[in-house]
């Protein structure tokens, strides 16, 4: 039997992954509320539904009453809120642990039927990375407030608006080289954003996914260096335009850059790169939800072509050159 929802509330629905989930849920006919710090910046989502179907609202995720107001009347709540760098009161602990707990508690109190929590591969309460520990604590807090919640742990997510391939492709246009942190040996399994959204929608529509943790990954494992080489090939630069940067030096650099506007790199991100970002094999994944993983090589050319030297109609160079 397919579960249908009348009122979905998607925290973080204005972000990269969120917009794909908002669009898919809107197609099922449900009302979609998107709580955001900047609801004005989320109005672009409205065109994905009928008039009045997608509604951005203001929320303060650090405030119980504000969160309770946001989830009132919902039958489905999805929490996608996450940050890669801390600033001010938006620490990993406050955003990825305490706010996740607050949203799950409010959803339970409001009688919400289904809850989805977006975590990440590498979530680990004993990690030296504050990002990874807060994701693990967020999972635990959500499950204790809302035991039937479904948790998703994706590897790096790619797609037209991603922060990984776009960042390195943009950097390659001006920087003389791209940094291979830790020598570029960290292993990753990039997963396509459309597949992540399909998996989440499939999970909430299907009985038997409650209380489970899904690890979401693409069809192949790559090293960080291989992903940088793929990016360089797409933008038409030879793969020798890279520089190996040891973890120690990268951590020092991150410690400086994290205090500058834009926070291009943080020491915590360097810490994360010390651990492979691949599935454990012990948890269900995309195919268990009926989703066939899409290869990076199929999608990258469709959005990295805008960075290509000589214009988007020139041919990418071979990654082997
Ligand atoms: N992208 C990846 O490669 C990847 C990999 C693994 C896991 N994830 C997880 O997937 C989730 C979504 O990631 P994404 O790539 O879509 O990130 P994103 O584009 O940065 O979106 C993050 C969302 O979180 C919201 N948010 C952040 N801080 C907030 C705060 N203090 N109050 C209210 N809203 C806040 C933002 O909303 P406003 O700014 O509009 O308020 C935005 O909608 C995150 O939990 C992330 O950790 C992502």
DSSP string for residues in 259-283: TSTT----HHHHHHTTS-B---SSS
| Interatomic CA distance for residues 274 and 186, integer angstroms | 7
CA of 201 to the centre of ligand 1 (A): 18
H or E element at residue 300: helix 296-304
| Residue 83 covered by a domain | yes
pLDDT of residue 3: 80
The residue whose CA is least distant from atom 7 of ligand 1 is 120
Beta-sheet pairing, 114-118 with 31-36: unpaired
The domain that holds 127 is classified in CATH as 3.40.50.720
Other C-beta atoms closer than 10 Å to the C-beta of 288 total: 16
Ligand 1 touching residue 15 (CB < 6 A) = yes
Q: Structural domain of residue 142, as residue ranges? A: 7-154
| Residue 81 covered by a domain | yes
pLDDT of residue 1: 59
Pocket test for ligand 1, best of 9, 10, 12, 22 (most atoms within 8 A of CB): 12
Sheet strands (E) in the chain: 7-11, 31-36, 54-58, 76-79, 114-118, 150-154, 157-158, 178-181, 187-188, 191-192, 213-216, 222-223, 242-245
| Residue 244 covered by a domain | no
8-state DSSP, 164:
S
Entry pTM = 0.96
Number of structural domains (the chain) is 1
Ligand 1 touching residue 167 (CB < 6 A) = no
Full DSSP string of 221-254 = -EEHHHHHHHHHHHHT--TT-EEEE-HHHHHHHH
CA of 14 to the centre of ligand 1 (A): 8
pLDDT tens-digit profile, the chain (321 residues): 588 899 999 999 999 999 999 999 999 999 999 999 999 999 999 999 999 999 999 999 999 999 999 999 999 999 999 999 999 999 999 999 999 999 999 999 999 999 999 999 999 999 999 999 999 999 999 999 999 999 999 999 999 999 999 999 999 988 888 999 999 999 999 999 999 999 999 999 999 999 999 999 999 999 999 999 999 999 998 767 899 999 999 999 999 999 999 999 999 999 999 999 999 999 999 999 999 999 999 999 999 999 987 777 777 766 645
| Residue 294 covered by a domain | no
Which residues have C-beta within 8 Å of that of residue 164, sequence separation ≥ 6?
A: 156, 157, 158, 190, 227
Ligand 1 touching residue 118 (CB < 6 A) = yes
| Residue 2 covered by a domain | no
| Residue 98 covered by a domain | yes
pLDDT of residue 310: 77
Residue 131 alpha carbon, nearest atom of ligand 1: 47
Q: 75 with 6: CB under 8 angstroms? A: yes
| Residue 56 covered by a domain | yes
Does residue 120 sit in helix, strand or coil? coil
pLDDT of residue 241: 82
* Rg, the chain, Cα only: 20
| Residue 108 covered by a domain | yes
């Amino acid at each position: 039997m397919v579960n249908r929802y009348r009122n979905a509330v998607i925290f973080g629905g204005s972000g990269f992954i969120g917009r794909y989930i908002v669009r898919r849920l809107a197609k099922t006919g449900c009302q979609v509320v998107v709580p955001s710090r900047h609801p004005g910046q989320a109005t672009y989502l409205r065109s994905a539904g009928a008039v009045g179907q997608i509604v951005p609202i203001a929320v303060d995720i650090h405030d119980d009453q504000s969160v309770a107001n946001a989830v009132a009347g919902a039958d489905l709540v999805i929490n996608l809120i996450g940050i890669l760098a801390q600033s001010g009161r938006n620490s990993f602990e406050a955003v990825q642990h305490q706010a996740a707990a607050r949203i799950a508690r409010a959803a339970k109190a409001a009688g919400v039927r289904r809850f989805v929590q977006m975590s990440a591969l590498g979530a680990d309460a004993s990690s030296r990375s504050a990002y990874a520990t807060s994701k693990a604590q967020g999972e635990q807090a959500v499950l204790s407030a809302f035991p039937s919640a479904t948790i998703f742990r994706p590897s790096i997510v790619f797609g037209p608006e991603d922060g990984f391939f776009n960042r390195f492709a943009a950097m390659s246009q001006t920087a003389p080289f791209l940094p291979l942190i830790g020598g570029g040996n960290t292993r990753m399994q990039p997963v396509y954003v459309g597949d992540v959204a399909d998996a989440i929608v499939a999970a909430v529509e299907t009985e038997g996914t409650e209380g489970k943790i899904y690890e979401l990954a693409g069809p192949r494992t790559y090293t960080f260096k291989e992903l940088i080489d793929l990016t360089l090939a797409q933008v038409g630069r030879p793969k020798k335009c890279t520089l190996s940067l040891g973890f120690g030096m990268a951590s020092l650099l991150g410690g400086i850059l994290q205090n500058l506007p834009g926070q291009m790199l943080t020491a915590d991100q360097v810490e994360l790169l010390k651990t492979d970002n691949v599935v454990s094999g012990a948890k269900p994944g995309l195919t268990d939800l009926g989703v066939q993983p899409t290869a990076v090589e199929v999608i990258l050319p469709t959005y990295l072509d805008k960075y290509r030297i000589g214009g988007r109609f020139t041919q990418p160079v071979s990654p082997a050159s």
